[in-house]
């Protein structure tokens, strides 16, 4: 049916998905796209049911666990703390808001629990931020153990090896130290920044991250002096940790990352040079283990247009979020960079875990090899704002909306990836799909596909998904002829090995009926090269929806005539320099005909043409039709009529007795705007005797004629 309806082109177009930017445009379910641009099964995740306790919260700012493995969630904006243990949840703070003179109605208190910790006795320390910051110790009853008039926010809590407690606060950038019993508070450092957002303690030194300037401090609490470990390009350092060897990992981020949305759209209504060739002679009718991809000609691949920003953006380095590795001797390495807002940082067994927004992504980073991967992406919440490891699982605190998710080491048993639509541009016959992937024993990759003629994949007119087939080799895309095609990969893990297939590249092939080339624009104009002013530069643009290789035929004719005269055949470049001296002056048109015979059979090859706007070929200077020179005393009056056949007059100048200084003359109507102009030129103050007056007359194309006249002054 396909062959009888239209003629098949000989060119196959290959669409290649081989990078994260390609895969990220698709839809994933229990599948993640890692930073290396591969698809793999996600780690198994489970949303923890917290009942209605998180309904009024916007964010889970912080999570800590105690020795028994119980979790404590610090939330906002009502400064609540929720305990989760043995699959039971309860709110443990505030117990009775009235006891703390809090609002007892349903109003939002606009207080947050950004930080929590455990003291030497295992009691929960709650940093409450709002109108007045305070540290609450939770034992039998909540007890306020720290307040200060200069503190509204407690962003970070850390303890040292002697169980002293450090607080990172705002809005005055103060670092406080309390003894293990939350007494004897003192300021150990006062920064110029508004807030200290993060703290870590190692070998008696306090490491702090600030806002505004994005600095990483190293503070000696004994001397209360600080040095700057690193000045990042970003505004904030929201998370910091130090490993056993003294290596500091600092997270820097910028709020601008959330606004980094690149969009490009619009139509151009600018007229393109030339006009379509609609003459009868040029009309053409369109003829009705490891899986590896085969190598293909790069020129046959679909080109992807790059997104264009709507407005200038700051440098990427300043917008992106980064994780910096700072060695004890101060050497800094940027081990992670992503256009995202970064929130939380966790380290387990040499692996860093990073929570980000605004796509709810959780990254793993190998601290030695710097390899990174997206291990979890939430479809509901926008940010992963906190994380803690308990008994081999990682618990994530999410925000907008607030949720608690457990991330297990085991992989999901099954996940799917729905590709972005592949656009053939025209109804196409879809060929084979090939996958380059590693498939461990017990794992599988299945493929299904569908097609349609609407750009919306949710449109009901799309065909049904084909029956899934296991990919072991190049497999036919079994979907109807249509402009758009979509494939679905189902990744199945090995039940016993906890392994995942890793998809590195997917290629899909299609062919469409041969379409005639289109000469989009053509322009013919006099060369601007002053050494070759006689050259007519012919430039044109052509495209072919089949991506066929094109060659061109050029013809010309005098304007108003019917026949075309061959100029150039088998031209392979979209430009040609025509020597205008080979034809007489006049008005001409040029026709460019593009053909795709190099990529098609003689029976299927097609052509498309376009005719240029009329242009002037003028290599002759103006003529002085008549001139009359009247001598009167020491003056000469020259009356002249100067004409050009095709071009507007450009200039008339004169000089006397070969003087190097030429004098410009104006026409009688004071405007150079026609082919013929009258001049009355008066030359005064000539000495008696013989003189030679030279005239230079030029048209607008600088074709110039010189003429001399001899006069005698009595």
Which region among 88-92, 374-378, 636-640 has the lowest average model confidence (pLDDT)?
374-378
- 151 within some domain: no
Same domain, yes or no: 545 and 580 = yes
Which region among 207-221, 292-306, 622-636, 675-689 has the lowest average model confidence (pLDDT)?
292-306
Question: Angle at CA 381, nearest 5°, toward 380 and 384?
Answer: 145
Same domain, yes or no: 454 and 500 = yes
Query: For residue 643, how many other CB atoms are within 10 A of its CB?
Result: 16
Same domain, yes or no: 579 and 607 = yes
Token pair listed for 565: 């005269």
Same domain, yes or no: 465 and 544 = no
Helices (H), 74-219: none
- 487 within some domain: yes
- Looking at residue 140, its pLDDT comes to 81
Mean pLDDT of 335-360: 91
Mean pLDDT of 184-205: 95
Q: Each residue of 645-664: pLDDT tens digit?
A: 988 999 999 999 999 999 99
Q: How far apart are CA 246 and CA 243, in angstroms?
A: 5
Same domain, yes or no: 255 and 354 = yes
The better pLDDT of the pair 37, 567 is held by: 567
Q: Is the pLDDT of residue 193 over 80?
A: yes
Same domain, yes or no: 441 and 472 = yes
| Domain boundary residue, one of 617, 639, 670 | 617
DSSP state of 569: E
Q: Is the pLDDT of residue 270 over 50?
A: no
Same domain, yes or no: 507 and 526 = no
Token pair listed for 610: 């376009």
- 645 within some domain: yes
How many CA atoms lie less than 13 Å away from 323 in the CB half-sphere? 31
Q: How many independent structural domains does the chain possess? A: 4
Which region among 157-166, 291-300, 330-339 has the lowest average model confidence (pLDDT)?
291-300
Q: Each residue of 410-455: pLDDT tens digit?
A: 899 999 999 999 999 889 999 999 999 999 999 999 999 999 999 9
pLDDT averaged over every residue in the chain? 87
Tokens 């970064």 correspond to 342
Query: For residue 681, how many other CB atoms are within 10 A of its CB?
Result: 20
Global confidence as pTM: 0.63
Mean pLDDT of 681-685: 94
| Domain boundary residue, one of 597, 617, 637 | 617
Q: How far apart are CA 504 and CA 287, in angstroms?
A: 38
Residue 365's domain comprises 240-259+315-377
Same domain, yes or no: 598 and 638 = no
The better pLDDT of the pair 59, 233 is held by: 59
- Looking at residue 498, its pLDDT comes to 82
Evaluate whether 382 touches 358 at the Cβ level (below 8 Å). Answer: yes
- Looking at residue 511, its pLDDT comes to 86
- Looking at residue 276, its pLDDT comes to 59
Token pair listed for 521: 């624009």
Same domain, yes or no: 334 and 251 = yes
- Looking at residue 292, its pLDDT comes to 67
Evaluate whether 491 touches 445 at the Cβ level (below 8 Å). Answer: yes
Q: Is the pLDDT of residue 9 over 50?
A: no
Q: How far apart are CA 153 and CA 173, in angstroms?
A: 10
Q: How far apart are CA 544 and CA 11, in angstroms?
A: 12
Q: Each residue of 224-269: pLDDT tens digit?
A: 999 999 999 899 999 999 999 999 999 999 866 555 423 222 223 3
- CATH number of domain containing 663: 2.60.40.10
Which region among 159-173, 210-224, 243-257, 600-614 has the lowest average model confidence (pLDDT)?
243-257
Same domain, yes or no: 545 and 458 = no
- 185 within some domain: no
Same domain, yes or no: 349 and 248 = yes
- 56 within some domain: no
- Looking at residue 311, its pLDDT comes to 42
Strands 196-202 and 205-210: antiparallel
How many CA atoms lie less than 13 Å away from 278 in the CB half-sphere? 3
Q: Is the pLDDT of residue 704 over 60?
A: yes
Q: How far apart are CA 423 and CA 426, in angstroms?
A: 8
Nearest C-alpha neighbor of 391 from the set 614, 69, 80, 19: 69
Q: How far apart are CA 178 and CA 172, in angstroms?
A: 18
- 680 within some domain: yes
Same domain, yes or no: 255 and 356 = yes
The better pLDDT of the pair 637, 302 is held by: 637
Q: Is the pLDDT of residue 71 over 90?
A: yes
Token pair listed for 117: 């910790």
Secondary-structure percent of the chain, ordered helix, strand, coil, rounded to 5: 5, 50, 45
| Domain boundary residue, one of 352, 377, 402 | 377
- 595 within some domain: yes
- 42 within some domain: no
């Amino acid at each position: 049916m396909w062959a009888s309806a239209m003629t098949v082109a000989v060119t196959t177009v290959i669409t290649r998905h081989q990078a994260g930017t390609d895969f990220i445009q698709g839809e994933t379910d229990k599948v993640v796209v890692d930073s290396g641009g591969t698809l793999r099964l996600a780690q198994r995740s489970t949303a923890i049911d917290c009942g209605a306790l998180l309904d009024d919260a916007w964010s889970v700012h912080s999570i800590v666990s105690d020795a028994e493995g119980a979790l404590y969630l610090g939330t906002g904006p009502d400064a609540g703390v929720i305990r989760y243990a043995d699959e039971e949840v309860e709110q443990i703070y505030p117990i009775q808001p009235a006891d703390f003179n809090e609002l007892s109605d349903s109003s939002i208190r606009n207080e947050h629990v950004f930080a929590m910790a455990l003291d030497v006795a295992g009691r929960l320390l709650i940093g409450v931020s709002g109108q007045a910051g305070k540290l609450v110790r939770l034992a039998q009853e909540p007890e306020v153990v720290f307040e200060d008039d200069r503190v509204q926010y407690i962003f970070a809590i850390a303890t040292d090896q002697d169980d002293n407690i450090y607080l990172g606060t705002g809005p005055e950038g103060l670092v406080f130290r309390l003894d293990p019993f939350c007494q004897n508070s003192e300021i150990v450092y006062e920064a110029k920044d508004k807030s200290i957002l993060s703290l870590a303690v190692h070998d008696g030194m306090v490491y702090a991250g600030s806002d505004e300037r994005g600095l990483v401090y190293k503070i000696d609490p004994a001397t209360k002096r600080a040095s700057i470990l690193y000045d990042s390009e970003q505004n904030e350092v929201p998370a910091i940790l130090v490993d056993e060897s003294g290596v500091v990992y600092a997270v820097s981020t910028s709020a601008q990352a959330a606004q980094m949305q690149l969009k490009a759209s619009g139509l151009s209504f600018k007229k393109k040079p030339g006009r379509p060739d609609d003459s009868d002679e040029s009309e053409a009718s369109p003829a009705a283990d490891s899986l590896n991809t085969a190598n293909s000609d790069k020129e046959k691949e679909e080109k992807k247009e790059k997104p264009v920003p709507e407005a200038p953006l700051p440098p990427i380095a300043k917008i992106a979020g980064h994780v910096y590795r700072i060695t004890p001797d101060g050497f800094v390495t940027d081990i992670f960079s992503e256009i995202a807002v970064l929130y939380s940082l966790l380290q387990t067994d040499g692996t860093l875990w990073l929570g980000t927004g605004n796509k709810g992504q959780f990254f793993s980073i190998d601290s030695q090899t710097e390899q990174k991967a997206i291990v979890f992406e939430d479809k509901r919440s926008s940010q992963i704002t906190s994380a803690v490891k308990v008994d081999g699982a990682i618990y994530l605190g999410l925000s907008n909306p607030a949720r608690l998710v457990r991330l297990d080491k085991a992989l999901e048993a099954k996940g799917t990836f729905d590709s972005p639509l592949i656009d053939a541009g025209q109804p196409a016959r879809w060929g084979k799909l090939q996958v380059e992937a590693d498939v461990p024993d017990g794992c599988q990759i299945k493929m299904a596909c569908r097609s349609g003629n609407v750009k919306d994949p949710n449109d009901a007119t799309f065909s049904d998904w084909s029956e899934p087939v296991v990919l072991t080799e190049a497999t036919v895309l079994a979907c109807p002829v249509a402009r758009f095609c979509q494939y679905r990969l189902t990744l199945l893990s090995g039940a016993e090995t906890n392994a995942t297939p890793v998809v590195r590249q997917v290629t899909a092939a299609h062919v469409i009926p041969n379409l005639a080339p289109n000469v989009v624009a053509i322009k013919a104009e006099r060369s601007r090269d002053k050494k070759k002013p006689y050259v007519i530069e012919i430039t044109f643009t052509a495209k072919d929806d089949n991506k066929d290789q094109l060659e061109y035929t050029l013809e010309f004719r005098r304007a108003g005539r019917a026949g075309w005269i061959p100029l150039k055949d088998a031209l392979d470049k979209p430009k040609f320099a025509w020597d205008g001296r080979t034809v007489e002056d006049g008005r001409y048109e040029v026709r460019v005909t593009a053909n795709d015979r190099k990529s098609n059979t003689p029976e299927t090859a097609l052509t498309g043409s376009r005719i240029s706007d009329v242009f002037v070929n003028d290599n002759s200077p103006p003529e002085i039709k008549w001139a009359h020179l009247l001598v009167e005393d020491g003056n000469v009056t020259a009356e002249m009529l100067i004409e050009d056949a095709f071009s507007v007059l450009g200039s008339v100048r004169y000089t006397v007795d070969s003087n190097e200084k030429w004098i410009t003359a104006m026409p009688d109507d004071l405007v150079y705007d026609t082919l013929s102009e009258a001049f009355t030129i008066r030359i005064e103050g000539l000495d008696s005797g013989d003189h030679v007056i030279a005239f230079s007359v030029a048209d607008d194309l600088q074709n110039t004629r010189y003429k001399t006249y001899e006069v005698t002054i009595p």
